[in-house]
Amino acid sequence: MLLDGAIKFANQARAGIEENNPEMMYLGFTQCRDIVLELLNTIKTQPAPEIAKSVRELYTFLYAELVKASTYKDLNMLGEVIGLLEYERETWVLTMEQVAKEREEGFVSPHSAQAPTHQPISFQA
């Protein structure tokens, strides 16, 4: 959902540039940068430090490009950021589909000590 928001606000920034609407542009860039920064700050290094490093580098790059695009009002640079955000979103969708499929098939991750158990949850007051 955060990636959807980042894409939405990046498109708002693009519309602000195209329509010469500084407020729309500012709000779009600001919200998009805030989301990318939130994504960057919530990356966990375990259980896959190599993947975490790559994702951290991607989000750092996206943030820097957003700063440059907003400074220069560069539609081409912003378009590249939007393309990367859309690609990242699609990657996450495919990853979540794969995880769901593996769970259905009873796949046990090598990082887990045991297979997950499906027991009913009970709440007591």
Tokens of 61: 């790059």
Q: In which band, very low, low, confident or very high, does the pLDDT at 114 lie, cut at 50, 70 and 90?
A: very low
Reported pTM: 0.80
Distance, CA of 78 to chain centre: 16
Lowest mean pLDDT: which of 24-38, 40-54, 106-120?
106-120
Mean pLDDT over each residue of the chain, to the nearest integer? 89
How confident is the model over 76-106, as pLDDT tens digits?
A: 999 999 999 999 999 999 999 999 998 998 8
Enumerate domains of the chain plus CATH numbers: 2-104 (1.20.120.340)
Name residues whose C-beta falls within 8 Å of residue 4's C-beta, 6 or more positions apart in sequence: 89
- Residue for token digits 């609407």? 21
Contact yes or no for 32/9 (Cβ under 8 A): yes
CA–CA separation, 53 vs 57, rounded Å?
A: 6
Q: Torsion angle of alpha carbons 100, 104, 108, 112, nearest 10°? A: 50
The reported pLDDT for the residue numbered 106 is 84
Which own/partner contact pairs does 43-50 have at CB distance under 8 Å and 24+ positions apart? 47/111
